[in-house]
Amino acid sequence: MQKKLQQLIELLPEVNVIGTTDKTVTDITADSRVVQQGSLFIALKGAHVDGHKFLGKAAEAGAAAALVEDVPTVIPEGLTLLQVKDVRKAMEIIAPFFFDYPGKNMRMIGVTGTNGKTTSTNIIRQVLKSAGFKCGMIGTINVLIDEESIVSHNTTPDVVDLQKFLYRMKEAGCRYVVMEVSSHALALKRVAGIEYDTAVLTNITEDHLDFHKTMEAYREAKSLLFEHLTDGEKPNKTAVFNADEPASKIIEARTKAAYLTYGMGKENDIYPLAYEVGAKGMNLCLHTPAGDMDLHLNITGKFNVYNVMCAVGALLAEKIDKVEIEKVLNGFAGVPGRFQLVEAGQPYTVIVDYAHTPDGLENVLNTARLITKGRLWAVFGCGGDRDNKKRPIMGGIALQLADDVVVTSDNPRSEDPEKIIDQIEVALQPVPEGKTVTRIADRKEAIYYALAHAGDKDVIMIAGKGHENYQILKDRTIHFDDKEVVEEYWKGKKA
Ligand SMILES: CC(=O)N[C@H]1[C@@H](OP(=O)(O)OP(=O)(O)OC[C@H]2O[C@@H](n3ccc(=O)[nH]c3=O)[C@H](O)[C@@H]2O)O[C@H](CO)[C@@H](O)[C@@H]1O[C@H](C)C(=O)N[C@@H](C)C(=O)N[C@H](CCC(=O)O)C(=O)O
Ligand SMILES: Nc1ncnc2c1ncn2[C@@H]1O[C@H](COP(=O)(O)OP(=O)(O)OP(=O)(O)O)[C@@H](O)[C@H]1O
Ligand SMILES: N[C@H](CCC[C@H](N)C(=O)O)C(=O)O
Ligand SMILES: [Mg+2]
């Protein structure tokens, strides 16, 4: 992929060019560490550092030009500067153009909502693959360029990385892309230049208020996916809504696209005729416009009934065969770290789950209660540098729904772990008779405590970090994996 620098300059309405323009741009990036010979380096002012600091490094690495807001006193030799008022706006224009708008050549399915995106997108991808389509996927755990897996840093990457991934997917022959579209991505326009074919809403519950400030602003960000669905040239757009999510009605009124609804009520296009939740799976009979589906799933919980309906909605919007959907759903093994049972030879049940929001925690504890014959344990914490309003709410939910609560650390990031726990603990008192609350900041010790004190019939829910194999501390990131901690404990016990 390459473009003449002059072509990029012509895209920008107001630009001050310093240096020669007769150059070829071979790549674009906002990270000086990956600049190659001929790259256009985009200097972004980030939350931690100003990308303008790295103009020298970019030039040394061979950058042909740089997109900047500020012109340095000493311009690195050989670097052409494109000075604009707003680098982010310019980047939203340049990135999709540079990669020839790859989203136009593939069917794009975007899934937004607070919880359930990773689960639903994984189901959708597996069905599309099984139906014979090469498929790209972008989400919290990984980016998949057909079968090639790349570990994710964000749920939805920034505009340049996103367009680069889409380009690689197009080159790999992908017919479909299914992606998680986070509210950050919508608010920060990371998805600029993408025209979706099918847009899906899971739910909107409390999270990310550090960023959006109010639930209304959070909903408005999610709404953008649907409001802009019919912009552009692609035909046959469909929105898929969770009718049990109150925000759906508001958003529905704002989209001009045709839509499908799913929910518990019979007035919806997709609804359950019956379901039965078990420890390791569930039976689900689903009414759909393509006929009833008889499903025997390896994932469980009412929240997963919603995720299945959401995925089925997207797949039917894409006119995928019902038989194919049923076949794949019946074999779907679940997503790592989502209600994942850990088998380490222990007498009780241990579940690792990614619940890091009040709604997520409530759902998984309610589901776990259905399969608990003894006491229900909740081991959890809350992430640092994230919405702190959710902390006492999650504390209250844990105390209400579990018998034994062990409050610990999640990813403390730059915050003091003890102070985060203080904010959760506000809601962990008074402790009702028959329940216990234990505070252990060290996550490994907290998990060990639950493992050492649980009875044979108990269920231990270790929530918040799911698939994550790291813990982000103030000064460093360490290897940490909830599942491994459980396995190590039991290995030691048996030795
Ligand atoms: C608050 C936020 O969104 N931050 C994102 C932002 O980072 P930042 O502003 O801190 O960047 P920075 O470190 O200050 O660097 C500024 C610029 O200098 C560049 N740089 C930096 C160092 C260097 O040596 N050379 C260099 O060029 C960086 O590449 C960057 O372009 O730009 C980075 C690169 O695109 C993102 O990875 C990063 O997401 C961080 C990791 C993050 O935690 N984001 C969360 C809040 C987020 O976006 N979450 C949503 C929702 C999650 C969900 O609910 O599923 C998501 O979509 O992930
Ligand atoms: N439909 C749902 N409704 C409520 N909670 C859910 C739902 N699906 C999953 N959960 C809970 O949320 C957790 C995260 O699920 P998942 O990873 O599918 O969501 P996500 O939207 O991708 O999350 P993230 O925004 O962090 O990427 C699960 O581990 C479970 O606890
Ligand atoms: N995508 C979410 C994941 C949170 C996971 C949890 N373990 C935490 O660190 O808070 C976020 O960045 O807010
Ligand atoms: Mg996700």
Say how many CA atoms lie within 13 Å of 114 toward its Cβ: 22
Q: pLDDT band for 130, please (50, 70, 90 cuts).
A: very high
Residue 429, C-beta contacts closer than 8 angstroms, at least 6 positions apart: 437
Q: Give the tens place of pLDDT for each residue, 283-310.
A: 999 999 999 999 999 999 899 999 999 9
d(CA 51, CA 30) in angstroms, rounded, equals 8
State residue 494's pLDDT score: 72
ipTM for the predicted complex comes to 0.95
Residues in the chain: 495
In this structure, which amino acid lies at residue 360? G
325 lines ligand 1 (CB under 6 A): no
362 lines ligand 2 (CB under 6 A): no
Is the bond preceding residue 430 a cis peptide, omega within 30 degrees?
A: yes
State residue 207's pLDDT score: 83
Q: Among positive and negative, which fits the CA dihedral 125, 126, 127, 129?
A: positive
- At residue 405, does pLDDT exceed 90? yes
Q: pLDDT band for 493, please (50, 70, 90 cuts).
A: confident
- At residue 312, does pLDDT exceed 80? yes
Q: Mapped to the 3 state alphabet, what secondary structure does 457-491 carry?
A: CCEEEEECCCCCCEEECCCCEEECCHHHHHHHHHH
- At residue 382, does pLDDT exceed 80? yes
- At residue 353, does pLDDT exceed 90? yes
Q: How far is the CA of 51 from the CAs of 66, 70, 160, 190, 309, in angstroms? A: 11, 11, 15, 18, 43
Give the residue numbers of the binding site for meso-2,6-diaminopimelate: 386, 410-413, 464, 468
pLDDT (mean) for 328-344: 94
How big, in percent rounded to 5, are the helix, strand and coil portions of the chain? Answer: 35, 25, 40
Phi, psi (degrees; rounded to nearest 5) at 151? -65, 135
- At residue 8, does pLDDT exceed 90? yes
State residue 47's pLDDT score: 85
Q: What's the gap in Å between 459 CA and the centre of ligand 2?
A: 20
Pocket test for ligand 2, best of 119, 124, 277, 282 (most atoms within 8 A of CB): 119
Ligand 3 atom at minimum distance from 387 CA = 13
- At residue 206, does pLDDT exceed 80? no
β pairing state of 404-407 and 436-439: parallel
Q: What's the gap in Å between 153 CA and the centre of ligand 1?
A: 8
- In the chain, the domains with their CATH numbers are 3-98 (3.40.1390.10), 102-329 (3.40.1190.10), 340-494 (3.90.190.20)
d(CA 234, CA 265) in angstroms, rounded, equals 32
- At residue 248, does pLDDT exceed 90? yes
d(CA 285, CA 429) in angstroms, rounded, equals 41
CB 155 within 8 A of CB 190: no
Decide: residue 23, CB within 10 A, 0-12 exposed, 13-18 middle, 19+ buried: middle
Whole-prediction pTM value? 0.94
Count of beta carbons in the 10 Å neighbourhood of residue 471: 20
State residue 481's pLDDT score: 98
Residue 387, C-beta contacts closer than 8 angstroms, at least 6 positions apart: 206, 207, 208, 209, 210, 211
